[in-house]
Amino acid sequence: MTAEPGELLDQALRLCQAGALKQAEQIYRRIVVSHPEATDAWNMLAVVLYELGELEEAAYAALQATERRPRIAPYWLSRGNIEMARHQQGEAQASFKRAIALEPAFAEAHYRLGMSYHRDCRFGDAAAAYRDALRFAPSVPEISWRLGEALLSESDAGAAMRAFQDAFAQDPHGVLDRRGCFDWMGRMQFDSLPEFWHAEILRFFQREDLNRAPFVRVALKALKTKRSFRALLESPTSTDSASGPDARNVTAALGDPLFHAVLREGLIADADFEFSLTRLRARLLFDTVLRAQVSLDFLCAFALQCFNNEFVYAQNEREQDEVDRLLRSTESELGALSTPDEGVIRPLLTVACYRSLDGVRGIEAVLEPRQTSSLLDLLLQRTVVEVREERSLRRTISGIGAIADTVSHAVRGMYEQNPYPRWFAVDREPALFLSEWLERELPAQLPIATASTRILVAGCGTGQDAIWLATHIRNSKVLAVDLSLSSLSYAQRMARKLDVRNVEFRHGDILSLAGLSERFDMIASTGVLHHMREPQKGLLAIAGLLRPGGLMKLGLYSARARVSVSAARRLISEQQIASTEAAIREFRQHVLGADSSSALWELRYSLDFYSMSMCRDLLFHLEEHQYGLPEIAVMLQQAELTFLGLSELPQDAVAAYRRMFPEDRLMTNMTNWDAFEARYPDTFSNMFLFWCRKPDHAAH
Ligand SMILES: C[S@@+](CC[C@H](N)C(=O)[O-])C[C@H]1O[C@@H](n2cnc3c(N)ncnc32)[C@H](O)[C@@H]1O
C-alpha cells in the first residue's frame, strides 16, 4: 500500500525538523515522481536541496513549484533564496518582489529582498527593504542589525546607531556581530556616549571568544567621554593631588574594568593616553604611597600594556636608575622569601612596566599559580613562560631553501630582533568555505568556485594571518614561510596555544620558494613584498606557485597614504638615527612633540606608532617601496594576474566611492580607485589590500 502525499509530506517534514535532510529529500522526490502536480512537495524539495547546497537541482524544483502555482508567495521566497545563493541577484530580487506582491505583509520576503540588494551593494534600496520588513516583524533583532549595516554604508550615522541600538537591545546574549559597528564607531568623533553604548562596549571587551585588540579605539573613545578619564588625562602628573575630586576621579579611572581590559588585551594607540600613562608610570616608580594604593589588578594590567607595547614609552635616566635599583632590591627579596607577598609583588610589577620579567633573577619564586590575582598569572604567563617557550621552539622550525639575497638577509636581522606584530587572540567562530569567505571579502563579485584550499602565506611574520586562515577556512591546509625565526617561533607558540594543527611554519626566503613542486589554491602576502629589494621578483616567485584559477591576496604600501611616514624616514636618514630601542623612543618623543602643521603630525594616529617593533617597522625599515594603483596594475599584468578588487575597505570609503562612481557597481576599476585616492589620500593608510587571480588558462 502506498502512502498518500499528505501523509508522506508530514513524514518528510518531521525528518527535516530532525535534520535528516537526505532522507526527507528522498521522500519529496518520491512524491513529485508519483504526483507531479504536488507543488508543496516541489517547494519543500527545493528548500531541502538548497539547504544541502545542491543549488542547480534546487533551482529546478523551485521552478516547478512557481510555474505550476504562481500565486503562492512562499514558493517565490524559496525560489528567490536559491537564486540569491546562485549569485543571480536580479532574478532573486524579482522573485522576492513577486512574493511581496502576493503578500504585502510578508516580512521575510522584504528582509531577503533587502539582503539581495545589500549583496549587490545597493545599500539605499537594502535599507528601504529592511525597514519594510521591520514594519511587519519589529522585534527581529537581525533585521535591525542589517539595517544598521546598510545605513553605515550609506553614511547615515545617526540612523545606523539607532538601528544597531534596537538590534543589540534585543540581543542580550551577543549573538549579533558587533564588530562592524564598533569598528565604525572607533572612527567617529563623539564627546558623549549614552550609557547603553558604554555597557555594550564593556560587554564586548569581556568576551573571551573574540580578538578585541582591533577595537581598542572605540573603547578609548568611550573612556574619554567619562569625567574620571578626563581627570586622568588632564592631570599634569596623573594622580597628582592626593585628595579632592580629581584624585577620586583618577582612582575611579584606574579601577575601570573596560580600561583594564584594554590595557590587557590590546595596544593603547592614543597620544593623550600615552602621555598620561608615561607620567603615571614614573609616579608609581618613585611614589611608594601611590604604589601601595593602586589595585594589584591595575598594576598587572598596566604591566601587560607595557609588555604589549614593548616598553616603548619614554623613560629618562633618573627612571632608569631607579628601575635598576628597584630591580636589584626586588631580586634579593625574591631570593630570600619562600612565598613572595605584596611587599615584593608591587615593586616587581612596577619593574614590569619598564622591563621584561623574563630576565629577573629569582622570578621562578612567583611563577607558581597563586590566588592573589589571576591577572598576575596572566602577566607571568605572557611575559615569562611564553617568552621561554618561544626560545625553545626556535630549534623545531625547519628551513625551506637558502636565504641568499643581501636585502633578505638584512631584513631578516631586523625581524629577528623585532618580530612583527605581537598579537594575542583570534576570533573563535565557525569556519567558512573559501567561497563564502570570498563573498564577504569581495562583495558584489561573481562567485568563485574553489573546492580545495591549500594555502601559502608568504612572509607570515608572527603568524596571525596564517592561523586565522587555518582556523577560519574549512578544510584548509596552510604553509607559512618567513625569514625570521623569532617571528616563526611566536607563530608556532600561538598555533600550539590555540591548538591549530593544519598550519606548518617554515623558515626561508620567498625567493627560494620557486623550487616547490606544489601549487596553491590561495596565496596571501600582506605587508611583505614591499620590503624586498625587487618586489616584482618576489611577486613572480609566488605567482608561479599559484594554480591556474588560484587566488592571491596582497598588501602593498600606498605612497599617497604614507606622506608622513616618508617625512619621518627622510628625517631619520638625514640625521642618521639608529634603530636602537633608545633611539626609537627618543624619535617618538620628537614626533609626539610635533604640532598639527608638521608633516609628522599624522603619525600619532597610526596604530603601528605605538609599539617598539611596529614603530621600527613603520618608520625605521631598511627597505621600503611604495606604490600607486597604476603601478600595481602594471605589476599584476606582468605577473599575469587579474585584479579582482580591494578588500577590507572601511564602510565610509565604500559609500563615498559609490557616490563618486555609481556606474562601477563591482568597484573593481583601478583607475577610478586611483582618482578616489587622489581625492581622499588617507583611504589606504594601512596599505592597499587587494585580491587578484591567475587566469585558468595561464601557463604554469
Ligand atoms: C611587516 S611584516 C608582515 C607580517 C605579516 N604578513 C602580517 O601582515 O602580519 C613583514 C614580514 O615579511 C617577512 N619577509 C620580508 N621579506 C621576506 C622574504 N624575502 N621572504 C620571506 N619573508 C619575508 C619579514 O620577515 C616579516 O616577518
Tell me, what CATH number does 404's domain have? 3.40.50.150
Note whether residue 153 is domain-resident: yes
**Burial state string for 25-36 with b = 16 or more CB within 10 A and e = fewer than 16:** bebbbbbbeeee
Q: How far apart are CA 408 and CA 509, in angstroms?
A: 7
Q: How far is CA 480 from the centre of its chain?
A: 19
Residues 362 and 424 in one domain: no
Closest CA to 608 of 345, 267, 272, 305: 267
Name the residue with the closest Cα to ligand 1, atom 9: 461
Number of domains in the chain: 4
Contacts of residue 329, defined as CB under 8 A and 6 or more positions apart, other chains included, come to: 347
- Picking from 619, 640, 659, the residue at the C-terminal end of a domain is 619
- Picking from 153, 172, 191, the residue at the C-terminal end of a domain is 172
Note whether residue 284 is domain-resident: yes
Binding site membership of 354 for ligand 1 (Cβ less than 6 Å): no
Q: How far apart are CA 413 and CA 669, in angstroms?
A: 39
Residues 403 and 362 in one domain: no
**Strand order, beta sheet including 503-507:** 503-507, 477-482, 454-458, 520-526, 546-556, 688-693, 642-646
The one-character DSSP state at 154 is T
pLDDT at 122: 87
Region of 412 (left: φ > 0; alpha: ψ -120 to 50; beta: rest) is: alpha
Q: How far apart are CA 473 and CA 439, in angstroms?
A: 13
Binding site membership of 529 for ligand 1 (Cβ less than 6 Å): no
Residues 240 and 265 in one domain: yes
Binding site membership of 608 for ligand 1 (Cβ less than 6 Å): no
Residues 566 and 554 in one domain: no
Note whether residue 679 is domain-resident: no
Q: Determine contact, residues 3/35, Cβ cutoff 8 Å.
A: no
Note whether residue 215 is domain-resident: no
Closest CA to 685 of 639, 653, 637, 640: 653
* End-to-end CA, the chain: 61
Residues 247 and 166 in one domain: no
User: How many Cα atoms sit within 13 Å of 631 on the Cβ side?
Assistant: 13
Residues 137 and 167 in one domain: yes
Best residue among 267, 397, 408, 411 to mutate for probing ligand 1, ranked by most atoms within 8 Å of CB: 411
Best residue among 464, 483, 487, 528 to mutate for probing ligand 1, ranked by most atoms within 8 Å of CB: 528
Q: How far apart are CA 270 and CA 603, in angstroms?
A: 11
What is the 506 CA–ligand 1 centroid distance (Å)? 13
Centre a 10 Å sphere on the Cβ of residue 123 and count the other Cβ atoms it contains.
23
pLDDT tens digits, 547-559: 999 999 999 999 9
DSSP-assigned states of every residue in 273-317: HHHHHHHHHHHHHH-HHHHHHS-HHHHHHHHHHHHHTTS-S---H
What are the grid coordinates assigned to 668, written together?
A: 573593481
pLDDT at 241: 46
Best residue among 407, 531, 554 to mutate for probing ligand 1, ranked by most atoms within 8 Å of CB: 531
Residues 553 and 446 in one domain: yes
Residues 534 and 598 in one domain: no
Residues 337 and 459 in one domain: no
As beta bridge partners, residue 507 has: 399, 482
Note whether residue 188 is domain-resident: no
What is the 396 CA–ligand 1 centroid distance (Å)? 20
Note whether residue 218 is domain-resident: no
Q: Determine contact, residues 688/627, Cβ cutoff 8 Å.
A: yes
What are the grid coordinates assigned to 572, written together?
A: 631619520
Q: How far apart are CA 463 and CA 490, in angstroms?
A: 8
What is the 527 CA–ligand 1 centroid distance (Å)? 7
Q: In which element (H, E) is residue 693 found? A: strand 688-693
Closest CA to 365 of 390, 384, 387: 384
Q: In ligand 1, which atom is closest to the CA atom of 511?
A: 19
Binding site membership of 535 for ligand 1 (Cβ less than 6 Å): no
Note whether residue 79 is domain-resident: yes
Binding site membership of 334 for ligand 1 (Cβ less than 6 Å): no
Q: In which element (H, E) is residue 557 found? A: none
- Picking from 335, 370, 391, the residue at the C-terminal end of a domain is 391
pLDDT at 699: 47
Residues 259 and 114 in one domain: no
Name the residue with the closest Cα to ligand 1, atom 25: 483
Q: In ligand 1, which atom is closest to the CA atom of 457?
A: 6
Note whether residue 214 is domain-resident: no
Residues 484 and 525 in one domain: yes
- Three-state secondary structure call for residue 515: helix
Contacts of residue 659, defined as CB under 8 A and 6 or more positions apart, other chains included, come to: none
Binding site membership of 613 for ligand 1 (Cβ less than 6 Å): no
Binding site membership of 420 for ligand 1 (Cβ less than 6 Å): yes
Instruction: Name the residue range of residue 89's domain.
Output: 5-172
CATH number at residue 139: 1.25.40.10
What is the 22 CA–ligand 1 centroid distance (Å)? 47
Q: In ligand 1, which atom is closest to the CA atom of 532?
A: 16
Binding site membership of 531 for ligand 1 (Cβ less than 6 Å): yes
Q: In ligand 1, which atom is closest to the CA atom of 421?
A: 9
Binding site membership of 652 for ligand 1 (Cβ less than 6 Å): no
Binding site membership of 471 for ligand 1 (Cβ less than 6 Å): no
Under-70 pLDDT residues of the chain = 1-4, 236-246, 369-373, 443-452, 698-700
What is the 613 CA–ligand 1 centroid distance (Å)? 13
Binding site membership of 509 for ligand 1 (Cβ less than 6 Å): yes
What is the 415 CA–ligand 1 centroid distance (Å)? 8
Residues 427 and 546 in one domain: yes
- Three-state secondary structure call for residue 534: coil
Q: In ligand 1, which atom is closest to the CA atom of 617?
A: 1
What is the 674 CA–ligand 1 centroid distance (Å)? 26
